[in-house]
A and B are shown apart, each in its own frame.
Chain A
Amino acid sequence: MAIDIFLTSIYGSLGQGLLYALVAIGIFMSLRVMKKPDLTVEGTFAFGSVIAMTMLNGGAHYATTLIVAPIGGSAAGLATALMHTKLKIDGIISGLLVTMALFSLNLFVMGGSTISAPLESFIFAPSREWLVALGMQPFNALLWSYIIVGAITLIVVITALYFIYSTAFGLSIRATGDNEYMACSNGVNTDSRKITSLVISNAITGLAGALVAQQQSGANVNSGVGVLIIGLAALVIGEVITPKNVSMLTRLLFIVLGSFIYFSCISLVIVSGLLSPDWTRLLTAILALGALCVPKLREIYLKKRIEKVAK
């Protein structure tokens, strides 16, 4: 009995972890590759959610939402990027301005403050029905359908990103984030690289919004609130466990693992009854803070050990 609840919460965390890993990957692209935080994330995520739900509500096929939501997201990213590169507005402020604007745009798109669509229209429906037909319990089938959809999406996104970053164009994006001056003096048009990077990362975030909205069976104006820190927590937890000097592909895969660990921690604390779900956000903040502190603590510990050996 207890083991059942435990397993269910692990499956649930795996599904959520895979879907939110997309957000963490988007944050990784801006915060780690470009070395600049992008605060458009929450706006883009909500925009993706709202676009997908409105389309499904209107009878569209889920496959079309997988195209339109990322396009919406990339448009938001483009807006931020243009403000930042062409109008020379600080990157953080640009992101906040776009998020602000998207709030109204979301209300307009939905035609209200919340929206939902029939369960059968969601991307998870085919795999869920298939699993039920195989004899799985309906609830478990639903959890596993999240895992299947999340895994397939991640395989596609991570493969695409890995290829992009391995090309001459991708290398110039990474160089722009790492040493803009150097990239520029090697003939890289750094503005175009910043724009491209924000467009791609926000397309991924928009896609994440579309999928999570279907997992939560609806979207509302506040869909994006808190997503940035959840993604950040997943990212930094993944980075804490990532070995040193690994390839871009490994780094991306460890972010997915980090996302799973984050959701497992949250769900185990809540399922075990230690805390009520009201405390989720506080727990998230503490987890993110803890993971952010680990590199520093590790450094101090290593220094002490070296001193000890020296004595």
Chain B
Amino acid sequence: MIALKNVSQIFDNGIEKNQVLNSINLDIPEGQFVTVIGGNGAGKSTLFNVISGNLRPTSGSIFIDGKDVLRKGRSARAAMVACVFQDPNSGVCPDLTIAENMALAYARGKRRGLQWAIRKRDLAIFAEKLAEFGLGLENMLRKKASLLSGGQRQVVTLLMATLQKPKLLLLDEHTAALDPRIAKQVMSITKRLVNEQKITTIMISHNMSDAITYGDRLLMLDSGEIVMDVSGEEKSALTPADLITMFES
């Protein structure tokens, strides 16, 4: 379970103050899949950065499983929150092999000591998980990640993010840089991974129909505030046209 209490973020460059998040209160029960929409500058990415620990909020607190996570260091937070970003290059190390990339993610939250980075049984696990996608990635374990296409990278990054079940998965427009066919494929893989392990997930999307199709709950952000919060039937009754009308109002 994740909870945000009065989270505000103000960027102050000394000349002008810019309130990006305005006292956000949000409760997400365990296992819920939340989609977030909102125009540019609505505060979506800032919200993610605050949750993932890249930014410290100006005020307010964030609880994961009832514990205040703002007191913990960044690496402790990373052990709980996994992220997949829009840029396919951001999620993998290009010069490491796919197996090495996965081993790095597999050790998330564990001590990284002088044990072997990749053991035989890890390789078998990685190959098995990759094989489930039917993309032939399991035969590329020893290849460098730089050889992967954008879509393949996002699939590998998604798998890496869920290899150790995170308390929270953040997806920041992770299909936006892909062509429509691949984007659809990556979305269905996302849905499968999230549903299989019942991972609490927040996904930012610019694609209105994706935001309605996927997830249990939909939030709309505007000027740093949650202006819409729907779930269940109310959500499934929405159409992309409805959302666009609301955007424009």
Contact = CB atoms under 8 A, between A and B. Distances in A.
Interface of A: 164, 166-172, 174-175, 178-179, 181-189, 245
Interface string B70-109: 0001111011001100000111111110001101110111
**Chain B contact residues: over half helix, strand or loop, or mixed?**
loop
Most buried by A among B89, B91, B94, B95: B95
Contact of B114 (A167, A181, A185): A167
B92 A182 contact: yes
A33 to B, nearest CB: 9
Given A168-B103, A175-B104, A182 B78 contact: no
Nearest to A173: B112
B94 A186 contact: no
Nearest to A172: B112
B95 A187 contact: no
A179 B112 contact: no
The 7 lowest CB-CB distance pairs between A and B, nearest first, are A187-B78, A178-B93, A171-B117, A168-B112, A179-B93, A167-B114, A187-B79
Interface residues of B, number: 36
Contacts of B94: 178-179
B117 A184 contact: no
Contacts of B113: 167-169
A188 B75 contact: yes
Contacts of B144: 245
A224 B91 CA distance: 40
Contacts of A184: 74-75, 78
Nearest to B95: A178
Q: Identify the interface centre among B82, B91, B100, B112: most chain A CB within 10 Å of its CB.
A: B112
B112 A178 contact: no
A166 B116 contact: yes
Given A171-B103, A178-B95, A185 B116 contact: no
Nearest to B87: A181
B13 interface: no
Given A174-B93, A174-B96, A179-B93, A185 B117 contact: no
Contacts of B74: 184
A181 B157 CA distance: 13
Given A171-B118, A186-B104, A188-B112, 19 more contacts: A164-B114, A167-B116, A168-B103, A168-B112, A168-B113, A169-B113, A171-B100, A171-B107, A174-B95, A178-B93, A179-B92, A179-B94, A181-B90, A184-B75, A184-B78, A185-B52, A187-B107, A188-B104, A245-B143
